[in-house]
Amino acid sequence: MHFHILTLFPDMVLSGLKTSILGRACEKGLLSIEAENIRDYTKDKHKKVDDYPYGGGAGMLMQAQPVFDAYQAVLEKRAGAKTARVIYVTPQGRLFDQSMAKELAKEEELIFLCGHYEGIDERVLEEIVTDYVSIGDYVLTGGELPAMVMIDAISRMVPGVLKNEESGETESFHENLLEYPQYTRPEVWREKEVPQVLLCGDHAKVDAWRLARSVERTKRQRPDLYEKYDLPGRALLWLKQDRLLHMDMLENIRRGRARVLCVREDGVLLQDKGNGLYMVSAQNRDAGERLLSLTEPEGAEYVCHQRFLADSVAARFQKETMQVCLQAAYTRKTPFAEDLSYEIRALDETFTEGIFAHYHAFYEKEKLRAFLKEGVIYGAFLPKEETARKETETDRTDGAESGGTGQVLAGFIGTHEEGGMGMLEVFEPFRRRGIAQALETHLINRTLERGETPYCQIFAENEASIALQEKLGLKVGAKKIYWIS
Ligand code: ADE
């Protein structure tokens, strides 16, 4: 990796960076660090690089021309290579952290611009800078120390720079945890003993002890970091306090679809990564308000797990449609014996029109086409002969004939994007013969095969559906959830 530093103090940065581990990495050719003295490019006969700010004010500003010419000189030296990011180190920039160090370490080349005095003429910044970065909320006398800090942190993420490849990952800030306490010989020092677990030789025990200390330390010293630590794990823990009420949220996380936006002691807010749906549960109004304030209501849908949240969403964001549902979940692990009287298989996009004709309450046609392409909608088929009598009776308002296969589609079921089973429809001539049950058990089995917990959300007043779920052995929750769109 190549670093170029535009500075008024090249000796300062080079002597600081070319020693110890980074010095060794430069010798090995893993890094190159070069400094360009901005003063060498001034056209002023007294070698001046600064002047007074227009409009008055304290201090001096670095002029555009020498900075720009120093930058051009760097570009010429690296002729042919693709453009490099130019980082201006400034207290006005984005805050530098470990994840930024990791991201920047993927670049082949970086150019750092170090300011002095009160700053640099804005016009040259507009011309050359790609990133504005600060190392903290305090002001230093110049950009050299911040540039050195960043180059050090970035370099140690470059493969091969650290002797032990692992240590770049396991130290503080990895996964938003601070590092655990470490001990070396002697075993007893000033009557203080090394914790016994570290001497036991059981790696699993040592790892568990270290993780617990890291969590404890992060909670105490850096509550802001702890907030970001293991959001999915902490959300699951909270949601499991009422599994049935939260089955949709639990499954959304387990299936890797959830962006966990916030976990509090009194509530959780998720967003489905695919369709942007917000899922929220809170113990009280205050927690609910705080969680909802983190959402972007424009065009969004919400599933609220308490009535007060639903009322708040509706009032705050002028959302009009509210649907009240119950959650039902199949919590056993054993699959059903499949009902072989119907052939059930995934439908492809040739069924788009047929499905859309029966099911347009929630999805637009193109969305249904996408589901069909994905293979998440299953259809139940009957042999054509068997349906012939029914067809004449009903004028064929039912589903499409399956071209050339001698079969007729009698109904379908699918999995909604955020994870629930639904879209269940059996066409009129084929009702009351167990097709809904056959479709649902089929989908439950497919869901179990993926190691997921099958669940669905039923309209609270749909007694027929509640009865079907109970008959199939799903647990139906007593608490209501509220869909707001
Ligand atoms: N220049 C002066 N103070 C700075 C800071 N905190 N971060 C980056 N550059 C700076």
Atom 2 in ligand 1: residue holding the nearest Cα: 140
Going by C-alpha positions, the residue among 371, 461, 349, 475 that lies closest to residue 422 is 371
Tens of pLDDT, residues 426-475:
999 999 999 999 999 999 999 999 999 999 999 999 999 999 999 999 99
Q: Does an H or E element contain 197, and which?
A: none
**Pocket test residue of 96, 134, 137 for ligand 1, highest count of atoms within 8 A of CB:** 134
How far does residue 143's CA lie from ligand 1's centre (Å)? 6
Q: What is the DSSP string of 199-254?
A: GS--HHHHHHHHHHHHHHHHHHH-HHHHTTTTHHHHHHHHHGGGTTTTHHHHHHHH
Amino acid at 442: H
Q: Which of 100, 145, 148, 150 to mutate to test the pocket of ligand 1 (most atoms within 8 A of CB)?
A: 145
Are the C-beta atoms of residues 371 and 414 closer than 8 Å to each other?
yes
Which spans in 45-165 are helix H? 64-77, 98-104, 122-128, 144-155
Would the pLDDT of 107 be above 60? yes
pLDDT of residue 387: 62
Indicate which atom in ligand 1 lies nearest the CA of residue 89: 9
Burial class of residue 213 in the structure, from the number of CB atoms within 10 Å of its CB (0-12 exposed, 13-18 middle, 19+ buried): middle
CA of 412 to the centre of ligand 1 (A): 62
Determine the distance separating the centroid of ligand 1 and the alpha carbon of 146, expressed in angstroms.
6
Confidence at 360, pLDDT banded by 50, 70, 90: confident
Residue 307 CA to its chain's centroid (Å)? 28
Pocket (CB within 6 angstroms of ligand 1): 89-91, 134-136, 138-140, 143, 146
89 Cα: distance to centroid of ligand 1 (angstroms): 6
First to last CA, the chain: 50
Mutation to probe ligand 1, out of 6, 90, 133 (largest number of atoms < 8 A from CB): 90
Confirm if 124 and 68 have CB atoms less than 8 A apart.
Answer: yes
Closest CA to 442 of 346, 373, 344: 344
Compute the radius of gyration of the chain from its Cα atoms: 32
CA distance 441 to 336: 6
Residue 172 — φ and ψ, nearest 5°?
Answer: -50, 145
In the beta sheet, which residues pair with residue 120? 62
Q: Which residue has the tokens 């449609």?
A: 321
- Distance (Å, rounded) from C-alpha 479 to C-alpha 287? 19
Residue of 255, 293, 300 lying closest to 276 (CA atoms): 300
User: How would residue 155 be classed by pLDDT, with cut points 50, 70 and 90?
Assistant: very high
Single out the residue of 250, 407, 423 nearest to residue 399, CA to CA. 407
Q: What is the pTM of this model?
A: 0.73
Task: For residues 474 and 453, give the distance between their C-alpha atoms in angstroms, rounded to a whole number.
Answer: 11
Query: Percent of the chain beyond pLDDT 90?
Result: 86
Confidence of residue 188 (pLDDT cuts 50, 70, 90): very high
Specify the residue with its C-alpha closest to ligand 1, atom 9.
Answer: 90
Is 458 in a helix, a strand, or coil?
Answer: strand
Rounded CA-CA distance 360/366 in Å is 11
- Each residue's pLDDT tens digit, 362-400: 889 999 999 999 999 999 999 887 665 554 443 333 455
Cα distance between residue 120 and residue 53, in whole Å: 10
Nearest atom in ligand 1 to 133's CA: 8
What digits encode the pLDDT tens for the residues 11-46?
999 999 999 999 999 999 999 999 999 999 999 999
For residues 38 and 64, the answer to whether their CB atoms sit within 8 Å is: no
| Strand-pair category, 32-37 with 2-7 | parallel
- What mean pLDDT comes out for the span 345-357? 93
Please give the helix or strand (H or E) that residue 135 lies within, else none. none
Distance CA 468, CA 328 (A): 11
Look at the block and give the residue holding tokens 């993780």: 211
* Lowest-confidence segment of 145-154, 171-180, 209-218, 285-294 by average pLDDT: 171-180
Q: Which of 269-283, 308-322, 445-459 has the lowest mean pLDDT?
A: 308-322
Structure tokens, 286: 């205050």
Q: Which helix (H) or strand (E) holds 318?
A: none
Q: Which residue, 271, 274, 290, is CA-closest to 282? A: 290
139, 145 Cβ separation under 8 angstroms: no
Beta strand 267-272 with 278-282 is antiparallel
The two beta strands, 258-264 and 267-272, are antiparallel
User: What pLDDT was estimated at residue 24?
Assistant: 95
Residue with the two structure tokens 């850096």: 222
Q: What single DSSP character describes residue 48?
A: -
Distance 96 CA to ligand 1 centre (A): 10
Structure tokens at 336: 């059903």
